[in-house]
Amino acid sequence: MSLMKLNFESGYLKSNFEISIIMPDRPHGATPREFYESGKKYRVLWLLHGTFGDHTDWSRKSNIELYACEKDLAVVMPSALNSNYSNWDKATMGFAMYDYFTEELMPMVYNWLPVSEAREDNFIAGLSMGGRGALKFAVNYPEKFAAAAILSASPINLDGIDGEALAKGEEPFSARLRDMIENAGGIDAFVNSNEDAWGIINGRIARRERLPRLLFACGKDDARVYINLMKFQPHAEAIGLNAEFWIVDGYAHEWRFWDLAIQHALKFFNL
């Protein structure tokens, strides 16, 4: 495989930013002209990092390049800081990570590289914060992705958030949720925004709208995520969501699990 690192100025992030891209390499026996002028468009996995990570995480800490090579797959890995893949208008000069992903990064990749824009050729996955990001993009843009893998993350029922408990730091992810709710302009605005994956899923199912196939993967020793996911699973089954729940004993919030889970995700994607 070929590993590309691209640094470019983003209008949505108001700074230079980097992405890593894995592209299928020329097979032995094919001439450069045959390969590079073939006009082939590759299937693509948009792969998101977690908190404190960057665009290098997956290529440094997992075997994603090996797996992509086996599947003849392009993989795009952006940096997102600790943005939760959300828009932060008051961060520095403005840091619109949510809009950047669909309105700048995806068009750039589709038009600069031999990557397919067809829904059936596009998949998204991420771990932890990146798992929440992958779910958010998948349910808000079901026309863009055939399937999504949410690793070590879970939807949260925002209607069930206890404001007093949140203020006291008693809710899981309290500090992060407080910041995101403040950024959105309050709980009501947050619940009615693109952040509410639980509510968006409910709405699309009720309206019989198409959603990507969803995989939720979690290590059973990842206590906080596992508890939240077990609250969501019966709800998902009750509303008829097309989702797989893949729980593995003996793993916590760790790269050993995420390397295993991304292999399962590629099988789930039928790649």
Determine the pLDDT at residue 91. Answer: 84
On the question of pLDDT at 158 being above 80, the answer is no
Rounded mean pLDDT of 122-143?
98
Convert the pLDDT of each residue in 137-157 to its tens digit: 999 999 999 999 999 999 988
Name the percent of the chain lying above pLDDT 90: 77
User: Residue 27: pLDDT band by 50, 70, 90 thresholds?
Assistant: confident
Rounded mean pLDDT of 91-113?
93
Which tokens go with 175?
Answer: 């500090």
Where are the chain's structural domains? 2-158+210-268
On the question of pLDDT at 170 being above 60, the answer is no
Determine the pLDDT at residue 225. Answer: 92
DSSP per-residue letters across 163-184: HHHHHHT-STTHHHHHHHHHHH
Rounded mean pLDDT of 106-115?
97
Convert the pLDDT of each residue in 217-271 to its tens digit: 999 999 989 998 999 999 999 999 999 999 999 999 999 999 999 999 999 999 9
Please state the φ and ψ torsions of residue 182, each to the nearest 5 degrees. -60, -45
The CB density around residue 75, as the number of other CB atoms within 10 Å, is 27
Q: What radius of gyration, in Å, describes the C-alpha atoms of the chain?
A: 19
Rounded mean pLDDT of 87-115?
93
Of 14, 173, 15, 16, the C-alpha closest to 6 is 16
Note the pTM of the prediction, 2 decimals. Answer: 0.94
User: Residue 184: pLDDT band by 50, 70, 90 thresholds?
Assistant: confident
Domain boundaries 2-158+210-268, CATH class: alpha beta
User: 65-79, 123-137, 147-161: which has the minimum mean pLDDT?
Assistant: 147-161
